Chains A and B, each alone.
Chain A
């Protein structure tokens, strides 16, 4: 089984989010980038398929050279080789289009992407990729088993979960649950050394025009200070929620 894990290069959760160039660009100054958490759960599940079922695992990112350390980290965790499509990730559609070419040319059986990236939160790349390549698609996936070309996947739904039967080729939108946080792997020294020698192939982009464009960014208005209510005066809280906040 050939597995491709899509790796998005995103600011660490604790990063300060600021914008430059008249609020048109994300300010990367001082920001530490990581593997998108939703992708990391998928990568870890892919490592399980590699170790238990003999799958091969490649990782891919659409982005500039600055994303290579993130791909190297995925290699250090255990992926076999990495692909970087050398173009700016302009929108979800354009990224899916670039990935579709990689998936088709590489004849991957299983593609695991995160259900969404924690920066742009578009939540569209895995689904679009599935539609473009004609693969089956399950998102918000919290459990995945593969047996030959058959797959059993569980997805989170509003208020519960649903288990589906499907088959390869398959695209998964992964999240926590595919593996647990305690299963995530921190690269060890040996992994990091080996990752330096593993192939990281840079491929030139195919033509793909973005369909959407973030023209400007803004930050939420600064929040006022919390109104503290005395624990002995719960009536006041009920009053505030009713008369001031008007939510009850």
Chain B
């Protein structure tokens, strides 16, 4: 009756979200008086998950799984959960994990709850808090099946090192055929993604044109942040749709969200509200974003942002 956790990696290296879900799984396992088993696919250092609370890692090495395939990956996790007799399966909120989660839930006849933001308030009945109404509310939700699938909202729990160690077992489940085959992937490999980022720097129409995007990128660079944009900016074609955050774009749940020249339409705020600390820079003191932000500067982005970059560089040099 272990707690099983799927740990995503890229080019062999665990993503931060993987370490976060293991940390969360450890908290759930402690509440239930059981242990954490991790599933790792083509990862280099599976034993390192021990530090975050995994007792055992089922390590799969299979070239067929180098490219993500929802059906195949779901089948691997399902097989692991069955072999390990897991009663709870924990996933992150990456695009891939959210893709496979419903397939896995049906395979395990498990109830599935996504966007969970806290450790369970009770394990019997199993009750978790999740966001709903596009971050305008929380729903305390019970899962009433024997096996439960929980999708943890990124950056909601954080990394917790518990200093344990994990045994690593080779795991060789059968991989089903899939009717969905990847033809091409178009992805910037040198950039932090919005889903993984702790800090997101986002630009709006206030930046006046795509030629000014260097400002956003430079600020993001200093902070190790992902870049994003508002809907009008992606509609105008200044930035690709994959950077559009908001209700119809990507959701953001970063620790710090910096909005440059974004007025804060309700659809935008709905998508970014899960971020913990919000900073807005806008010339218009009446912009609705000031009502949603923690910190605000009324000023011209073209003056404020270069100064902010300079000050952050100095801050980093001092605190390095």
Contact = CB atoms under 8 A, between A and B. Distances in A.
Interface string B63-101: 000001011000000000000000000000011101111
A164 B223 contact: no
A146 interface: no
A234 B186 contact: no
Given A214-B132, A234-B311, A158 B295 contact: no
Interface residues of B, number: 93
A186 interface: no
- In the complex, which of the residues B112, B144, B191, B293 has the most CB atoms of chain A within 10 Å of its own CB atom? B112
Contacts of A176: 241, 244, 248-249
A127 interface: yes
B270 interface: yes
- In the complex, which of the residues A17, A92, A132, A164 has the most CB atoms of chain B within 10 Å of its own CB atom? A164
A208 to B, nearest CB: 13
B133 A121 contact: yes
Given A162-B184, A218-B138, A139 B294 contact: no
A37 B139 CA distance: 21
Interface stretch (B32-40, B209-217, B300-308): B300-308
A54 B247 CA distance: 32
A212 B294 contact: no
A126 interface: yes
Given A159-B188, A177-B241, A137 B103 contact: yes
B159 interface: no
A167 interface: yes
- In the complex, which of the residues A11, A142, A176 has the most CB atoms of chain B within 10 Å of its own CB atom? A176
B248 A175 contact: yes
A136 B179 contact: yes
A14 interface: yes
Q: Main SS of the interface on chain B? A: mixed
Interface residues of A, number: 82
Given A17-B137, A228-B296, A248 B142 contact: no
24 contacts: A13-B267, A38-B248, A93-B105, A120-B139, A121-B132, A122-B113, A123-B98, A125-B102, A131-B102, A139-B98, A157-B187, A158-B196, A159-B191, A159-B195, A176-B248, A181-B235, A211-B112, A212-B112, A214-B139, A215-B141, A216-B139, A228-B290, A231-B304, A234-B311
Interface of A: 11, 13-14, 17, 19, 26, 37-38, 41, 91-93, 96, 118-128, 130-132, 136-140, 142, 152, 155-167, 175-177, 180-182, 210-220, 223-224, 226-231, 234-235, 237-238, 240-242, 245, 247-248
Interface of B: 68, 70-71, 94-96, 98-103, 105-107, 110-115, 127, 131-145, 178-188, 191, 193-196, 198-199, 223, 235, 241-242, 244, 247-250, 255-256, 266-267, 270, 273, 276-277, 279-280, 290-300, 303-304, 307-308, 311-312, 315, 319
